[in-house]
């Protein structure tokens, strides 16, 4: 809902000198809008798809950014509240990323039926990609099912894999400092902890934004494919 409001506010802002925050929001909205126009050619669909893409991008980049918090900060708070297991980075949990990708799949199915009609979509399931021949119907249907499953699984696994690996690296770097505390001769580990932590945090800023952008672009691509006839 917040992204839809943000979208409308940025689109309706036509007067006055924008401040830094408004300029940043407008740049973000225009970036998503231009990507949506290039992929989803149905103007009516873009009224929902473009704000949806903005929601996906902002939501994922905020969840990814949880990785920049100290690794033991929220778990310590959780323990004080009686919570003994806490996944700090939501996108490092496969159930979250697969839930997002399944939501995209359901929206794709909705647009397949809306744009092509239920009968047209069912016919496409049996006639694409190898042609409208009766003896090819089983093969075509199997290939369509494999495509839907593969796109959904890869969509969720890509985000999960990158964020989970990044979280593990942050934890391993944090353990370097802990190892120094347990060793009188481990000054190199202490220095490595500082240098590696700084370098990885800077590099991870790119990963956080890139993975949000990739997930958003794949969402637009899959929704665009739902509008196109094979």
* Alpha-carbon distances of 67 from 22, 109, 205, 206, rounded to whole Å: 26, 33, 10, 12
| Catalytic option among 101, 127, 140, 162 | 162
Active site annotation includes 154: yes
Burial class (CB in 10 A: 0-12, 13-18, 19+), 166: buried
Q: What's the CA gap between 39 and 200, in Å, rounded?
A: 34
Q: Residue 207's Cα: distance from chain center in Å?
A: 12
Active site annotation includes 162: yes
| Catalytic option among 42, 65, 87, 158 | 158
Active site annotation includes 42: no
| Catalytic option among 34, 95, 154, 183 | 154
CA torsion through residues 75, 79, 81, 83, sign: positive
Q: What's the CA gap between 115 and 44, in Å, rounded?
A: 11
Q: What is the DSSP letter of 85?
A: -
Residue numbers annotated as active site: 154, 158, 162
């Amino acid at each position: 809902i917040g992204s839809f409001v943000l979208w409308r506010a940025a689109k309706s802002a036509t007067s006055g000198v924008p401040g830094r925050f408004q300029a940043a929001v407008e740049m973000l909205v225009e970036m998503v809008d231009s990507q949506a126009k290039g992929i989803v050619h149905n103007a009516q669909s873009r009224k929902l798809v473009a704000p949806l893409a903005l929601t996906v991008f902002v939501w994922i980049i905020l969840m990814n950014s949880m990785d920049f918090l100290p690794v033991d900060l929220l778990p310590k708070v959780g323990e004080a509240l009686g919570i003994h297991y806490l996944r700090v980075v939501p996108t490092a949990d496969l159930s979250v990323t697969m839930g997002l990708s399944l939501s995209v799949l359901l929206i794709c199915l909705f647009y397949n039926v809306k744009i092509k009609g239920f009968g047209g979509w069912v016919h496409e399931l049996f006639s694409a990609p190898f042609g409208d021949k009766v003896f090819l119907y089983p093969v075509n249907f199997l290939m369509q099912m494999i495509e839907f499953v593969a796109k959904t699984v890869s969509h969720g696994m890509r985000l999960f894999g990158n964020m989970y690996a990044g979280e593990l690296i942050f934890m391993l770097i944090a353990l370097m400092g802990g190892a120094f505390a347990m060793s009188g001769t481990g000054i190199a580990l202490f220095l490595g902890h500082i240098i590696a932590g700084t370098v990885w945090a800077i590099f991870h800023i790119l990963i956080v934004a890139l993975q949000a952008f990739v997930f958003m672009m794949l969402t637009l691509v899959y929704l665009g494919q739902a509008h196109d006839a094979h």
